[in-house]
A and B are shown apart, each in its own frame.
Chain A
Amino acid sequence: MSGTATAAGDTVPGPKGGPRTAASGDGARAPRGPRPGRTALFLLAPGALALLFTYAMPLVWVVRMALNEPLDGGAIRQTLTFGTFTQVLRDGHYWKVIGQTLQLGVLVTVFTLLLAYPVALFLARTTSRWRSLLMALAVAPLLISSVARTFGWMAILGNQGLINKTLQALALTDGPLPLANNMTGVVIASVEIYMPFAILAMISGFGRLEPELERAAASLGANRLAVLRRVVLPLTLPGVLTAALLVFVLSLSGYVTPRLIGGGRVFVLATEIYDEAITSLNWPVAAVLSVLLLVLFGIVIVLYQRAQRALERRFTGEKGASR
């Protein structure tokens, strides 16, 4: 029994929220209180109802829609068939769209991680008194309308935009560089739009990074590059992994940037879903594409969890990974 032990361990697992009625043992007249199960039900019901109608039911409905058959002119035949799935999967156009979606996702993820990492590392380590301001600047774009930010990128990347105007004024190029209405522009704008997400996710995952560790490595004779490669990078990997998942998933399903910067020439799953549903009024195909996107999400998340578990094992040294 050491003098520093606290009584924290003294509290026994039990209801957190005040007294609960005791088992009806004789003589024990307990202070009355509502049963936690019933109270929980009462408190959870409004939120559960809201999510049932605005989230769970729509998802069931869209999966059901994918099993219908589209007819000409936006009509739908109520049936239960995988016909629409096979129709979509046999069509080379949709495979091209899926390929472009994945290409965009990979490119955006790689560049976002490369650019976000130095900022996140700096914010996690700095002791500057400007830290909170720099932090706010780095993540504030999150709360700014993505339409507004995409518009900003149109003003930068367009043929009459900042970059091309400058290059032409300096007589460095003859014609405008093709920075908008193509994949390049979509990637550039998407990277900027997802950077705050990546920075946040990275900083949250940098918990294992302690300045002492870097100093210890340096004191053991590691030069700066070796410290970065052997100490900082492995310790920050979990944060990078989370950021990668987040950015990849977001860019797989992004709609506004591909539509505006892509100028109708970049086809990804999101734009295709919208066009099928709203322009072609082909809901079953749009629903099939949605289900495919969800499946893609599922695969990515499973892969992420595998990678996370592998990382976890490296830190804990346990064979059977936790969670």
Chain B
Amino acid sequence: MNTHPAGRILRAVLLTLLYLFLLAPIIVVFVESFDDSTYLRFPPEGFTLDAYRQVFANADFRSGIQVSAVTAAVTTLLALVTGVPAALALTRLRFRGRDAVESAFLSPLLVPHIVLGLALLVLFAPIPLTDTYWGLILAHLGVTVPYVVRTVSAALAGADPRAEEAARTLGAGRFTVLRRVTLPAALPGLVSGAIIAFLLSFDETVISLFVSGQSTRPLPVAVLQYVEYRSDPSIAALSVCLVLLSVAAVVVVERSLGLRRSLRS
């Protein structure tokens, strides 16, 4: 299509600029994290790994990492336990109201987190579940289950149900078929769903702001509150760590299912 050399160059320049804009904050954070000053400035004037040391010296961040990791792990587990059977039912069974049930399972994706956060606070405060691990986990569960349902459903829909019938004719009972054929064939979807659930929970900020407290403050909340009053390279270093975690996850997801299919809106 684009054969004119000037048009080609123009297009290349435009795309480069757009990609630069898209990746700008990540690049800046990366460079910043090696700065040796104590306040935020750009470009940095020296090179040091102090910022990374500071991250792990900061008690708030350390406990934040712990809270977020535990919450994300348990949330992921629960999201799989509740989401995978639902995905199985939605893709492998015919029953009345199937479409309505599917919409209901995906509908939390449409509700803004700021509203859901407040709503969870209103429900959890009297129990009381606020400022507890279980409160955080349950709060994250609502927004991760739909993603697991969607990713696993996509993987199950992509697998040939005839393969399950073939296994039946070869002598496998229902449970054996599930264990030996259905779930292994949907494994990429399961892995992607788990990773996305983990990342969503690990990065969840707004809902956590409402239901967390002094004793269970997840990392994004700790960072948010830190950044509001101070900005120094340790936040940049922490951000780089988070970016690396995400990139590692993205690579795994891309390898196992394809990012687009997992995140398709």
Q: Which residues of B contact A192 (CB under 8 A)?
A: 21-22, 24-25
The B3-33 residues at the A interface (CB cut-off 8 A) are 7, 11, 14-15, 18-19, 21-29, 32
The B97-145 residues at the A interface (CB cut-off 8 A) are 98, 101, 104-105, 107-108, 110-123, 138-139, 141-142, 145
Interface stretch of the complex, out of B53-61, B87-95, B183-191: B87-95
Q: Which residues of A contact B206 (CB under 8 A)?
A: 255-256, 270
The B53-86 residues at the A interface (CB cut-off 8 A) are 78, 81-83, 85-86
| Complex partner residue of A51 from B14, B145, B199, B223, CB under 8 angstroms | B145
- A126 CB to nearest B CB, Å: 10
Contact A155 B236 (CB under 8 A): yes
With A151-B231, A277-B118 known as contacts, the answer to whether A139 contacts B263 (CB < 8 A) is: yes
The A98-151 residues at the B interface (CB cut-off 8 A) are 115, 118-119, 122, 125, 132, 134-151
Give bound CA distance, A249 to B265, whole Å.
13
Contact B81 A18 (CB under 8 A): no
Contact B231 A154 (CB under 8 A): yes
Q: Which has the most chain B C-beta neighbours within 10 Å: A54, A158, A294?
A: A54
Q: Which residues of B contact A132 (CB under 8 A)?
A: 254
Contact B239 A151 (CB under 8 A): yes
Interface stretch of the complex, out of A88-96, A200-208, A308-316: A200-208
Q: Which residues of A contact B1 (CB under 8 A)?
A: 125, 211, 214-215, 218, 224
Contact A287 B19 (CB under 8 A): no
Q: Interface size class for chain B?
A: 35 or more
- A130 CB to nearest B CB, Å: 11
A260 within 8 A of B: yes
Residue of A whose beta carbon sits closest to that of B137: A54
Give bound CA distance, A74 to B168, whole Å.
62
Contact B111 A287 (CB under 8 A): no
A178 within 8 A of B: no
Contact B22 A195 (CB under 8 A): yes
With A141-B23, A144-B242, A145-B246 known as contacts, the answer to whether A256 contacts B29 (CB < 8 A) is: no
Q: Which residues of A contact B43 (CB under 8 A)?
A: 162, 165
Contact A283 B122 (CB under 8 A): yes
Contact B161 A17 (CB under 8 A): yes
- A72 CB to nearest B CB, Å: 19
- A186 CB to nearest B CB, Å: 14
Q: Which residues of B contact A50 (CB under 8 A)?
A: 78, 82, 141-142, 145
Give bound CA distance, A256 to B220, whole Å.
10
Q: Which residues of B contact A301 (CB under 8 A)?
A: 110
A80 within 8 A of B: no
| Complex partner residue of B28 from A49, A152, A214, CB under 8 angstroms | A152
The A252-300 residues at the B interface (CB cut-off 8 A) are 252-253, 255-256, 259-260, 269-270, 273-274, 277-278, 283, 286-287, 290, 293-294, 297
Residue of A whose beta carbon sits closest to that of B42: A162
- A308 CB to nearest B CB, Å: 14
Q: Which residues of B contact A277 (CB under 8 A)?
A: 118, 121, 210
The B130-169 residues at the A interface (CB cut-off 8 A) are 138-139, 141-142, 145, 149, 161, 164-165, 168
Contact B111 A40 (CB under 8 A): no
With A15-B94, A135-B260, A203-B260 known as contacts, the answer to whether A43 contacts B246 (CB < 8 A) is: no
Residues 20-52 of chain B: 1 if any A CB is under 8 Å from the residue's CB, otherwise 0?
A: 011111111100100000011111000000000
Contact A154 B40 (CB under 8 A): yes
Residues 30-63 of chain A: 1 if any B CB is under 8 Å from the residue's CB, otherwise 0?
A: 0001001101101110111111011101110110
Q: Given A141-B22, A274-B117, output 15 extra A-B contacts at Cβ < 8 Å.
A: A39-B89, A49-B82, A54-B120, A59-B116, A136-B254, A137-B22, A148-B239, A151-B236, A160-B40, A192-B24, A192-B25, A252-B112, A293-B112, A293-B115, A294-B112
Residues of B within 8 A of A (CB): 1-2, 7, 11, 14-15, 18-19, 21-29, 32, 39-43, 78, 81-83, 85-86, 88-90, 92-96, 98, 101, 104-105, 107-108, 110-123, 138-139, 141-142, 145, 149, 161, 164-165, 168, 174, 196, 199, 203, 205-206, 209-210, 220, 223-224, 227-228, 231, 235-236, 238-239, 242-243, 246-247, 249-250, 254, 259-260, 263-265
Residues of A within 8 A of B (CB): 14-18, 33, 36-37, 39-40, 42-44, 46-51, 53-55, 57-59, 61-62, 65, 115, 118-119, 122, 125, 132, 134-156, 158, 160-162, 165, 189, 192, 195-197, 200-201, 203-204, 211, 214-215, 218, 224, 242, 246, 249, 252-253, 255-256, 259-260, 269-270, 273-274, 277-278, 283, 286-287, 290, 293-294, 297, 301
A-B contact pairs, 19 of them (CB 8 A): A15-B93, A16-B92, A18-B174, A43-B86, A43-B88, A46-B85, A47-B145, A50-B141, A62-B118, A119-B18, A134-B19, A145-B205, A147-B203, A148-B242, A162-B42, A204-B260, A242-B265, A260-B227, A290-B118
Q: Which 3 interchain pairs have the tightest Cβ spacing?
A: A152-B25, A253-B112, A54-B142
